[in-house]
Copies of this chain bind each other. A is one copy, B any other.
Amino acid sequence: MLSLKMRLSIFFVLMGVTAAAGLAQESEAWRSQAIVHVDGSAVARMRGVPVAAVKLGPGFWTERRRVVTEVSIPTLYKEFEERGILDNFRRLAGKKVGRRGPLYTDSDVYKWMEAVAFEVQAGETRNQALLEEAIRIVSAAQEESGYLNTRYSLEGLGERHKNMLHGHELYCLGHLLQAGVAWYRATGKRDLMEVGIRFVRYLQERFGPGKEALFDGHPEIELALVELYRTTGDRSFLDFAGYFLNSDSRLKGRISARDLVYTYTGKPFTERTQMEGHAVRAGYAASGATDYYLETGDRAYRETLEKLWLDLASSKVYITGGIGSRQTGEAFGEAFELPNQLAYTESCAAIANFFWNWRMLAATGDARHADLLERALYNGINSGLSLDGRLYCYRNPLELSGNPNDRIRNPWYDTTCCPPNLQRVLASLPGYLFGVTDAGIAVHLYHTATLNWRLKDGVAVEVRQETEYPRAGVVKLVVNPERETVFELALRIPGWSEKTEVLVNGQRESDVRAGRYHGIRRPWRAGDQVELRLNLDVRHTLADPRVRDNVGKVAVERGPVVYCLEGVDQMPGVEAHMLALDLRGSAGAAVTASGASVGGLPVLEHRAVDLADEPVGLYSTRPAKRAWKPAAARLSPYFTFANRGFTPMQVWIPYIE
């Protein structure tokens, strides 16, 4: 049985294939499409809602999104102009300048465009004119043939399609497609999407089974092509994604073992057994493969994805949701190789992790994926953008020595993939709060917000959240159906929230368990109230002992937020690296609010001991009786690190017990 909504979607999709562009544009299909639009999937367990269906109210993410709109997006556009990144396109339309920047600069512009398109989807039009200008610049650069890449045109023409392994040619196209789809979903305008489609057609004419072999070297086009299929209904796009994921068998033996690992391409995705190689590539490949599974239902993909996800979650992800341990190759390490100071943890990799888990949540409905994406969002992604929106992290290490030469936050990188990637995630955020199940509505992330939705039986429902989360743990929900109707409201109970309470119109729910969706199926009437009381007690988290860097240390977490010990917060005369948390006695008494706050969240004061007096010399024999000097350690949210000068920082903190 297909819901009306789904039937309508399919209708519009079919319309899109057969009708003229103008006709499809007049249809309102674009209004109903979620960020990952799986309404046509036969296997999806969780569907999304369009960004426009959710209005965020005041709160944590609204403040973060405000600096993106007011500061990050306009200043990055200026950087593009000043550094010739937009001129790279203009020169293809005749402007006499040289090409500047590394070979993948086109993609940075496309990601920025996608970010602005998401803002427009969310009703924020402040940067729309800039985006429209960018669309004109990009569109004017396209060749008659449909080809579009500033690196492999003019003097670079001879290298076109020659460097599949490292050339980022199709990677750039993937981002163009995502920008085009987001712009279409913001406005119904197909212009930018059509630019991308023309380039895809160009490729489809030349490459593929029976034609020349092609592969991408940096996954990204796969998820873009599946989304393009979802948007247009053209199955050739899905098949083309499958062509890349399955890898052209003629490539066999032509790619080195090292590159097969590094690029996470060049052999069938379903032959993968672990997360390895370049973390962003692997994460995007897994995202694209999940999209492909969602649309094809191919069990082999599902099995590979489950295996890879377990490999990641059990041994290769940082507590911040960051992934990619090694600088060399920006790569995954071995299982449990998760060094803190040397953590590479590129912002883009945490984002890839977020994207993949969103898709896995769609595929499985399993709250583990929501837990992990929330972890990445609040910590390893959120850390990538400075509090004022002007600076970005490329790396997000879990420990810093406080050396200003580390230059961990910068307004620009030569490889500036992370800044627009961070922008597009934050701009699209309203689209990640709620979900749709066969039984009703799910709430994934908590924040003051209003969802306006139509159930599959057509009944309009408003769901309102009011909360100070993650500052406080209480979330008040009001459910307003246009008329009384039975459906399930499923609340995500985060894995970390033991002893969560849920009250429906004041009545306590039973069997509320952490790490699951708590479904409340009942006849809902306008004004019905649900109160969710999440447990924000500070947690002391241990790592598997095989994570060698974390032995003898704990991390401090509060709700979804990982805390850190940063020099800037400590009392005068206390050296951050000389503190050990004192876990003797009751956990509750160990932590108090310091009264200060940073990044909108409380700075915690934790009972500690100062180790500075104890050791004599670099190495000393452990005394039979250890005399600890009481002290207090101040902890602040990890994502705010290095926003207030350069001081030592650590997520994993020594302790005594």
Contact = CB atoms under 8 A, between A and B. Distances in A.
B545 A334 contact: no
A620 interface: yes
A542 B313 contact: no
Contacts of A339: 339, 342
A317 B551 contact: no
A403 B401 CA distance: 29
Given A551-B654, A552-B551, A552-B552, A545 B611 contact: yes
Contact of A545 (B342, B545, B577): B577
B317 A618 contact: yes
A575 to B, nearest CB: 8
Contacts of A542: 615, 619-622
Given A542-B615, A551-B654, A401 B622 contact: no
A453 to B, nearest CB: 34
B545 A622 contact: no
A544 B313 CA distance: 33
A392 B187 CA distance: 67
Contacts of A621: 496, 498, 539-542
A10 to B, nearest CB: 41
Nearest to A648: B546
A654 B545 contact: yes
Nearest to A315: B618
Contact of A620 (B403, B541, B552, B611): B541
Contact of A618 (B340, B401, B547): B547
A98 interface: no
Given A617-B314, A620-B541, A621-B539, A403 B334 contact: yes
A569 to B, nearest CB: 18
A448 B123 CA distance: 86
A543 interface: yes
A198 B128 CA distance: 78
Given A342-B342, A544-B615, A617-B544, A554 B401 contact: no
Nearest to A654: B551
Interface string A528-557: 000000000001111111111101111100
Nearest to A328: B327
A580 interface: yes
A119 interface: no
Contact of A549 (B545, B549, B580, B583): B549
Nearest to A612: B545
Contact of A552 (B313, B544, B583, B654): B654
Contacts of A498: 621
A549 B339 CA distance: 9
Contacts of A342: 339, 342
A341 B548 contact: yes
A399 interface: yes
B341 A541 contact: no
Contacts of A341: 548
A610 to B, nearest CB: 10
B548 A340 contact: yes
A486 interface: no
A555 B620 CA distance: 10
Nearest to A340: B548
Contacts of A314: 617-618
A251 interface: no
A35 interface: no
Interface in A116-150: none
Contacts of A543: 615, 618-619
Given A401-B334, A552-B654, A545 B618 contact: no
Interface in A298-323: 313-315, 317, 319
Contacts of A618: 313-315, 317, 543-544, 547
A534 to B, nearest CB: 15
Nearest to A341: B548
Given A399-B548, A403-B334, A552-B552, A622 B540 contact: yes
Contacts of A551: 552-553, 580, 654
A258 to B, nearest CB: 12
A622 B578 contact: no
Interface in A556-611: 577-578, 580, 583, 587, 611
24 contacts: A313-B617, A314-B617, A314-B618, A315-B618, A319-B619, A339-B342, A342-B342, A399-B548, A539-B622, A540-B621, A540-B622, A541-B619, A541-B620, A542-B615, A543-B618, A544-B615, A544-B617, A544-B619, A551-B552, A552-B553, A552-B654, A552-B655, A583-B622, A587-B624
Closest CB pairs A-B (n = 6): A552-B552, A540-B622, A551-B654, A545-B611, A542-B622, A539-B621
